[in-house]
Structure 1
């Protein structure tokens, strides 16, 4: 099976080829950016302030403080059977979409101020820390963003007009099987994103993962979140592909996430030469082992590659688990690796979510 472009080829593609698919005339609609949406009592009088290039909404309060309710509803949960993927076409793949005129770049613009202040920290890092902190809203980096729930934050990636791919264990699953509120901010950086924050209305999933995961749970540790707005029409989305076994130890991939250890999950990082060292299949799901740097809150981030003739990247895996303690040099063992979830089931989940909630 054809392999994706390698690092040096990507530099030439994204910096020299800005061709883009054109939206149908009926789809060229501006999107309303929600900068702030909170519920407060009528007794408070909001004021709009501008300070040092930032816009702030403030209210006067007393010693009892102010109770601000979040505006995000609890999403509906659609639980699918992974076994059903064996009965359907598992070769369905779709390419990425880039809006006409969107700027492109590779690699992303490095955030030197953050990189200099953080340095290398001893977490689940193999050898030298290869993660690069960046601040870039061009394509394809704008497709990635931060996931936020009441209990944690994670990483995610646009895979459709209003569809975000992340890890199942990033969802705040309740004991009764429901899911707590969750939102997504594309291109999140230091508290906000250029297109605002979007509420999740529906969660498509195979499993409801919590706590430590078995290999089989990791093989299906992904969900598709359906947003309340079609922000993908404005910023684009990534495609999807089934990871082929011929790519083990032969292809360099890109991995993006929001690490807590480097940036407190406030700024994204990327690694541009990630190698998958093993592939274990559990029915239609796969565990993709790797020895790339992976720490808390990078969970749910995409592993993607870009193919010749396609407009943008396609996701082949989702960051799932971190093993420890770290080792200095990879020894080929799957007992000490980090892992992505992927496989045919990943492609079908995205397909089903986009079909069920277009």
Structure 2
């Protein structure tokens, strides 16, 4: 277990400290795929299976669901979220205690790689436009993002976040806990709710959902982003939320741990990021970049600056590192904003505390 002042492992040293391995047990998993309908009476459902020929001698299947009794002129939406605002700095729990609580988890049915091994070529679909206003992210110099299909841990923990606001990225941070960005949340919820619907699909790739999907039921936050498309200073400091999902999806995907940022780590090339950029492959494939530095802006490191390559859609994806003594990585921030000088991620001791609160109250 890392101590409170322990530094993350430098990126170039990862494979010496953490050994790749196959799944402990080759066990099939159960997944859920869901959608919502409007019907005056309980719909009648029929299902069937058909083989899909991809020319690769693999056993691909299409699951077909026929539903009778749907109202054609109406739309059905997922459930909205309950939730509560949290006051930053209210929790007083030591770093050592939380380092033991907020650990990562690898399921026995998943292998482990510190770098994705199934890399793919990306197609550029949008050209970036950058000015000096803070918006959600940009590219600096050579684009070092790599698309991947790897579903081993920890690549299994990151996925596509969908809401009424559009799409973003997020990471499993507990058994049923999703860490993502505030500015992807639709805060204009129906009366009696904190936020409108959130759907999370881990390891989403070209429409494929190898671990199924889950919906949010509860949400924790410090600051609600106001929806104007720009991230103000305080919004950038607290541009993250923890969404409690309606099932324990993390037992299938695994989850990352969490840590508060320490300014002693500013000079370390130890960090990685994953997300779903809209400018590559239409946001349909996850990308990864590793080995970059970050710079905490003050002692509390609410905004964490970096020049890794990011674009809208990657917002909410984790900035993470590995520590000796842990089984997997810990997230220190989520991607939030950019200007022409830096990209900015939101993370701090307060983010760590928010994760701890959500994981304590919804075990």
Tell me, in whole angstroms, the C-alpha distance in 2 between the residues paired with 1:311 and 1:277. Answer: 25
Partner of 1:357 in structure 2? 362
SS in 1 for 2:31: coil
Q: Which residue of 1 aligns with 2:62?
A: 55
Aligned equivalent of 2:183, options 169, 176, 185:
169
Q: Contact conserved, 2:263 with 2:298, CA < 8 A, in 1?
A: no
In the TM superposition, what are the counterparts of 1:311-326 in structure 2 within 5 Å?
311-324=327-340
Q: 4+ residue stretches of structure 1 with deviation over 6 A?
A: 42-45
Task: For 1:99-118, list aligned pairs within 5 A.
Answer: 99-112=107-120, 114-115=121-122, 117-118=123-124
Task: Give the whole-Å Cα distance in 2 for the aligned partners of 1:16 and 1:111.
Answer: 16
CA contact 2:179–2:316 (8 Å) conserved in 1: yes
In 2: Cα distance, 1:227 partner to 1:278 partner: 30
> Retained in 1: the 8 A contact 2:165–2:184?
no
Structure 2 residue 147 is the aligned partner of structure 1 residue 133: yes
User: Contact 1:31–1:231 (CA<8 Å) still a contact in 2?
Assistant: no
Q: CA deviation at 1:278?
A: 4.3
TM-score where L is the length of structure 2: 0.82
Provide, for residues 320-342 of structure 1, a one-character-per-residue CA deviation record: whole Å limited to 9, x for no partner: 11224xxxxxxxxxxx2110111
Partner of residue 132, structure 2: none
> 1:73, 1:201 within 8 Å by CA — same for their partners in 2?
yes
Of 235, 257, 266, the match for 1:239: 257
Separation in 2, partners of 1:192, 1:268: 12
SS in 1 for 2:273: strand
Stretch of structure 1 that moved more, 285-294 or 139-148: 285-294
Which of 272, 288, 297 lines up with 1:279 in the alignment? Answer: 297
Residue 15 of structure 1 deviates from its aligned partner by 4.0
User: Does structure 1 residue 310 correspond to structure 2 residue 335?
Assistant: no
Unaligned ranges ≥5, structure 1: 23-28, 325-335
Q: Which residue of 2 aligns with 1:346?
A: 351
- Give the 3-state SS of the residue equivalent to 1:109 in structure 2: coil
- Residue 178 of structure 1, aligned match among 181, 194, 199: 194
Q: Residue 32 and residue 73 in structure 1: after superposition, are their counterparts in 2 closer, same or farther (change >3 A)? A: farther
Instruction: Indicate conservation of the 8 Å contact 1:277/1:290, yes or no.
Output: yes
Aligned counterpart in structure 1 of residue 163 of structure 2, from 138, 146, 149: 149
Aligned to 2:32: 34
Matches of 1:47 and 1:241, distance apart in 2: 45
> Structure 2 stretches of 5 or more lacking a match?
54-59, 130-137
User: Aligned residue for 1:26?
Assistant: none
Residues 132-185 of structure 1 deviation map (CA, whole Å, 9 limit, x = unaligned): 000111011001011101231110001100001011111111177731111111
Give the RMSD, CA atoms, in angstroms: 2.9
CA deviation after TM superposition for structure 1 residue 218, in Å: 1.2
- The aligned runs of 1:194-343 (5 Å cut-off) are 194-210=210-226, 211=228, 212-280=230-298, 286-324=302-340, 336-343=341-348
CA, structure 1 residues 9+88, in 2 after alignment: closer, same or farther (shift >3 Å)?
Answer: closer
Q: Quote how far apart the aligned CAs of 1:106 are.
A: 2.9
- Give the match's secondary structure for 1:145: strand
Answer yes or no: is 1:11 the counterpart of 2:15: yes
Q: 1:60 to 1:4 in 2, by over 3 A?
A: closer
Q: How many residues align?
A: 332
CA–CA distance in structure 2, aligned partners of residues 19 and 59 of structure 1: 35
CA distance in 1 between counterparts of 2:221 and 2:248 reads 20
Give distance in 1, aligned partners of 2:65 and 2:82: 33
Give a deviation string over 1:258-285, Cα, whole Å, max 9, x none. Answer: 000002221100001121134235xx56
